Structure 1
Amino acid sequence: MATYYPPVGFHFLVEFTGIDSKEEDHKFQSVSGLSVDIETEEIAEGGENRFKHKFPVKTKYPNLVLKRGMLVSSKVIDWCRNAIENFEFKPVDLTVKLLNEEQQPLLTWNVVHAYPVKWAVEDFNAEESKLVVESVELCYNYFKTIGNGD
């Protein structure tokens, strides 16, 4: 009998440091882009023709994409609009917390120096009955993972 069950991916919270916001501003439908790639450099060795040596060079992080049902009043969107409309960028740190059934964090990702690079609203369509979904795309320097269940 299994004693360990992997956590569910639908119970999470996003918190922005430095943006005073309502509780609704922490709830998102999806978060994507929490991944990292290590770029490598190939170096050929003289006399060795079967392969090239690959060495790690640096890490590369994709943009973080947050989606949710549109909020009419949102401090996070005000922060995004200020960057996009006024070209005033104020990077902030944020955390993505994977929660358990008691609302306690299992894992936390600290995302460092994030700022908005895209804001979008899904298409309006009179033939469909669905919520208006907005997405925010953030560029960031790096993230660190913290295990809260340890």
Structure 2
Amino acid sequence: MTEQAAYPLPAFYFRVKFATTGDSADTAFQEVSGIGGQIDTEEITEGGENRFVHRLPKAVKYSNLVLKRGIADINSELVKWCLKVFAHGLDSGIAPMTIMVDLLDSNGQPARSWSFVNAWPVSWQVEAFSASKNEVAIEKLEFSYQYMSRES
């Protein structure tokens, strides 16, 4: 472990990569959230024992991965992929891809990494426009995925 990695890492220096898009300019995001999972449980009441309920593990459930950025150009490979999913729905099938999120150290090298396998877009929203604010127009992309793994 590097000396830098021994300290808490800042949350502002990160990188998002999509497995099939080669355009690195298309992967600049302002915010990443939704990294996490939980185990669903089933409650079983034991006959004759009224003091407690057994909670048994069922399956792991992951949050959707949420990415925010300034509204991208229509020629973006990521935008094209999302448009294909939303425009064609389930008519042509969804081609999932792996999304990687790296939290970077001060040298720009991955200190912590997560992979989101078989991800596909489930929501695409443009945040509200307001004449009373001086802010960048933001789009929010939300992805469901099969499973997540932490690489480092």
Q: Which of 102, 111, 115 is 1:110 aligned to? A: 115
Aligned-residue offset at 1:46: 2.0
Instruction: Find the aligned partners of 1:41 and 1:126 in 2 and give their Cα distance.
Output: 49
After TM superposition, the structure 1 = structure 2 runs for residues 1-20 of structure 1, keeping only pairs within 5 Å, are: 4-20=6-22
Q: Which of 85, 88, 95 is 1:86 aligned to? A: 88
3-state SS in 2 of match to 1:25: helix
Aligned-residue offset at 1:43: 1.2
Q: Which runs of at least 4 in structure 1 moved beyond 6 Å after TM superposition?
A: none
Instruction: Find the aligned partners of 2:43 and 2:62 in 1 and give their Cα distance.
Output: 20
Matched, 1:68 2:69: yes
Aligned-residue offset at 1:126: 2.4
* Identity within the alignment, %: 40
TM-score normalised by the chain length of structure 2: 0.89
Instruction: Find the aligned partners of 1:31 and 1:135 in 2 and give their Cα distance.
Output: 10
3-state SS in 2 of match to 1:10: coil
Q: Which residue of 2 aligns with 1:98?
A: 103
Aligned residues: 144
3-state SS in 2 of match to 1:101: coil
Once the two structures are superposed, residues 63-85 of structure 1 have per-residue CA deviations (whole angstroms, 9 ceiling, x without a partner) of: 11100112224111110011001
Instruction: Find the aligned partners of 1:55 and 1:39 in 2 and give their Cα distance.
Output: 9
Q: Which residue of 1 aligns with 2:146?
A: 141
Give the gaps of 5 or more residues in structure 2.
Answer: none
Instruction: Find the aligned partners of 2:105 and 2:12 in 1 and give their Cα distance.
Output: 10
Aligned-residue offset at 1:23: 1.7
* Residue type at the aligned position of 2:21: I
* Residue type at the aligned position of 2:49: E
- Worse-superposed segment, 117-126 or 77-86: 117-126
Matched, 1:26 2:41: no
Instruction: Find the aligned partners of 1:143 and 1:84 in 2 and give their Cα distance.
Output: 23
Q: Which residue of 2 aligns with 1:41?
A: 42
Q: CA RMSD in A?
A: 1.4
